[in-house]
Structure 1
Amino acid sequence: MFAAERRQLILEMVRANGAVSLRELARVVQTSEVTVRRDVRALEAEGLLDRRHGGAVLPGGFTRESGFPQKSLSATAEKTAIAELAAGLVEEGEAVVVGAGTTTQELARRLARVAGLTVVTNSLLVAQALAHANRVEVVMTGGTLRGSNYALVGSGAEQSLQGLRVSRAFLSGSGLTAERGLSTSNMLSASVDRALVQAASEVVVLADHTKLGTDTMFQTVPTELMTRLVTDEPLAHDDRAGRELQALADQGVQIAVAGTGPAGAGMGTERSFQTGGAHGAGSGPVAGGASGHGPGAGRREGPLPGQRRNRPLRGGGPSTPPTLRSAPPPPTALPEGFR
Structure 2
Amino acid sequence: MVRANGAVSLRELARVVQTSEVTVRRDVRALEAEGLLDRRHGGAVLPGGFTRESGFPQKAHLATAEKTAIADLAAGLVEEGEAVVVGAGTTTQELARRLARVPGLTVVTNSLLVAQALAHANRVEVVMTGGTLRGSNYALVGSGAEQSLQGLRVSRAFLSGSGLTAERGLSTSNMLSASVDRALVQAAAEVVVLADHTKLGVDTMFQTVPPEAITRLVTDEPPPHEERAAAELRALADQGVRIEVASTGGGPAGAVPAGPLGAVGGPAGTAGPEAGGAAGGPGRPPRRDVPLPGQRGRHPQGAPQGIQGGGSGGAQLRAAVPATSGEGSPAGRVADLAPRRY
The one of 321, 332, 339 equivalent to 1:314 is 332
What is the CA distance between 1:66 and its match in structure 2? Answer: 1.1
Superimposed CA distance per residue, residues 62-93 of structure 1 (whole angstroms, 9 cap, x where no aligned partner): 74321110000000000000000000000000
Flag the 1:185–1:320 CA change in 2: closer, same or farther, 3 A.
Answer: closer
Flag the 1:270–1:136 CA change in 2: closer, same or farther, 3 A.
Answer: farther
SS for the counterpart of 1:235 is: coil
User: What's the Cα RMSD here?
Assistant: 3.4
What is the 5 A alignment of 1:64-79?
64-79=52-67
Aligned 8 A contact 1:165 1:201 in 2: yes
Superimposed CA distance per residue, residues 88-118 of structure 1 (whole angstroms, 9 cap, x where no aligned partner): 0000000000000000000000000000000
Flag the 1:65–1:204 CA change in 2: closer, same or farther, 3 A.
Answer: same
Deviates more, 1:177-186 or 1:263-272: 263-272
Aligned 8 A contact 1:274 1:284 in 2: yes
Superimposed CA distance per residue, residues 270-322 of structure 1 (whole angstroms, 9 cap, x where no aligned partner): 64871589997698776xxxx65699xxxxxxxxxxxxxxxxx9355x77787
SS for the counterpart of 2:243 is: strand
Flag the 1:320–1:278 CA change in 2: closer, same or farther, 3 A.
Answer: farther
Question: 1:130 and 1:115 mapped to 2: Cα distance?
Answer: 12
What is the identity, as a one-letter code, of the residue corresponding to 1:266?
T
Superimposed CA distance per residue, residues 140-176 of structure 1 (whole angstroms, 9 cap, x where no aligned partner): 0000000000000000000000000000000000000
The one of 139, 142, 151 equivalent to 1:163 is 151
Flag the 1:281–1:246 CA change in 2: closer, same or farther, 3 A.
Answer: closer
SS for the counterpart of 2:332 is: coil
Per chain length, whose mean CA-contact separation is higher, i.e. which structure has more relative contact order (CA < 8 Å, sep 6+)? 2
Question: 2:333 and 2:174 mapped to 1: Cα distance?
Answer: 37
Which one has a bigger Cα radius of gyration? 1
Question: 1:143 and 1:248 mapped to 2: Cα distance?
Answer: 33
What is the 5 A alignment of 1:1-339?
63-263=51-251, 266=270, 271=289, 274-275=306-307, 314-315=332-333
What is the identity, as a one-letter code, of the residue corresponding to 1:189?
S
The runs of 5 or more residues in structure 1 that have no matched partner are 1-14, 19-59, 296-312, 324-328, 333-339
Superimposed CA distance per residue, residues 192-237 of structure 1 (whole angstroms, 9 cap, x where no aligned partner): 0000000000000000000000000000000000000000011101
Q: TM-score, normalised by structure 1?
A: 0.66
Aligned 8 A contact 1:257 1:270 in 2: no
Deviates more, 1:134-143 or 1:265-274: 265-274
Q: TM-score, normalised by structure 2?
A: 0.65
Q: Percent identity?
A: 76
The runs of 5 or more residues in structure 2 that have no matched partner are 7-47, 254-268, 272-284, 291-304, 324-330
